[in-house]
Structure 1
Amino acid sequence: MKKITIAIDGYSSTGKSTLAKRLAKALNYIYVDTGAMYRAVTLFALDHGFVGEEDNIPELIAHLPEMELKFVPNPDSGKSDMYLNGQNVEEEIRSMRVSGQVSKVAAIGEVRTKLVEMQQQMGKDKGIVMDGRDIGTVVFPDAELKLFMTASPEIRATRRYKELLDKEEQVTFEEVLKNVQERDRIDSTRSISPLQKAKDAIEFDNSDMGLEEQFERIYDFSQRVIAKQG
């Protein structure tokens, strides 16, 4: 059966990655978490003092060529972890420290150009599920299946807050909600590849939907799309 490209875009904490991972596994497709790539660049920028209280974006841009980003399978979790310059940074990139700066870094044109090129190379043979902010609009505008995930800011903040508490991070719900809303604002208003629903994408509001129901609906739909390809 012919393989397709599945592009999943949407707001932060809508469960894009969780859904995309499971969908890819069920279809025996490759999964790529583009958010992890932008988070890894952000971690590099934070660790080197290129973003934070004072930003030095030109210096960050100058260091882009030396950054090596790679997904490496983790036999313990059965998933792939993000490696930055040979180091496993999967846990670090999920912190609030990174979340607070990632939208700013993702808005930098040179960063987006570098990562989009990498993402397009990863998906050149199709059979891929990729999630992010501009997959259906920029990375794979010709994807056979495009989804746009959304949910209310309060629902998304609640999900993210629970995740961070499970990791024993010291945060308040108000801090998480503010971060979600600020990321929405930056992602949706940036001049380069803003977060927006592709014209041919299917909008999927999962505010009142459990993980199992989400997966069953989208898996069923993806099977029908794949079957149409012949």
Structure 2
Amino acid sequence: MSLTVAIDGPAAAGKGTVARAVAAHFGFAHLDTGLLYRAVGRRALDHMEPVEAAASLRPSDFSDIEALRAPEVSQAASRVAAMPEVRAALVDFQRAFARRQGGAVLDGRDIGTVICPEAEVKLFVTASDEVRANRRYRELAGTGHEVTLAGVAADLAERDRRDAARATAPLTAAKDAVLIDTSRMSIETAVQTAIDAVAAVHNARTRG
């Protein structure tokens, strides 16, 4: 099976967990496109010009995933992601990954709308603001970051505002995306819902 699965949604909605599980289930390659922007944001915090940072990413820029999850890097990633020149510098890499042999799952914020509008499967994973804030707080506190729930909620609200308001590739669900609201779902249910959506497309293509 060779499909492109585009998974979009706001931070801490569960799209990364769903994407990894779907990729593992079907044997597809997986790309967390948010890490591209986090790596650019991290380099920008080190005073590198963002477009230059995007054009010169190296494997070593992804060696410390926990550092890329830090709150200050998240905010920097959101800022550089609002720059059209940064997004343009990363488009070709993402599109090439999406069409690799054997299938691919990409998760981010503009995969189904901008990067892969022709993806065979599009999912939009979301959750309530309260649920997302609690999830991200537990994640960051559990990995040793000194954060407060109120601070995490404020950071997420600011990222949501910036992602939705940017002129280039704002966060929005593709019109043909399957909506998965994980607010009251177990992760197992969310994953199975996504797997069923992918399987339905695959089965339809096979019958066709």
Fold-level similarity (TM above 0.5): yes
Cα RMSD of the aligned pairs, angstroms, is 1.4
CA 1:6–1:65 in structure 2 vs 1: closer, same or farther (change >3 Å)? closer
Contact 1:40 1:89 in 2 (8 A): no
Unaligned runs of 5+ in 1: 51-58, 71-82
Contact 2:7 2:107 in 1 (8 A): yes
Does 98-107 or 185-194 show the bigger shift? 98-107
Counting strand residues as a fraction of each chain, which structure ranks higher? 1
Which among 128, 137, 146 is matched to residue 152 of structure 1?
Answer: 128
Deviation at 1:215, TM superposition (A): 1.0
Cα displacement string for residues 4-56 of structure 1 (whole angstroms, at most 9, x for unaligned residues)? 111000111001111100110000000000001110000010022x5xxxxxx
Deviation at 1:149, TM superposition (A): 1.1
Q: Note the 1:53-92 alignment, pairs <5 A.
A: 59-68=49-58, 70=59, 83-84=60-61, 88-92=63-67
Counting helix residues as a fraction of each chain, which structure ranks higher? 2
Counterpart-to-counterpart distance in 1, 2:136 and 2:173: 22
Deviation at 1:63, TM superposition (A): 4.5
Cα displacement string for residues 128-175 of structure 1 (whole angstroms, at most 9, x for unaligned residues)? 011000000011100111011111111000000000111111110000
Secondary structure of 2:44's counterpart equals helix
Secondary structure of 2:65's counterpart equals coil
- Once superposed, which parts of structure 1, at least 4 consecutive aligned residues long, lie more than 6 Å away? none
Give the number of equivalent residue pairs.
205
Unaligned runs of 5+ in 2: none
Counterpart-to-counterpart distance in 2, 1:162 and 1:62: 34
**What residue in structure 1 maps to residue 105 of structure 2?**
129
Secondary structure of 2:119's counterpart equals coil
* TM-score normalised by structure 2 residue count: 0.94
> Quick one: which amino acid aligns to residue 38 of structure 1?
Y
Secondary structure of 2:95's counterpart equals helix
**What residue in structure 2 maps to residue 171 of structure 1?**
147
Secondary structure of 1:148's counterpart equals strand
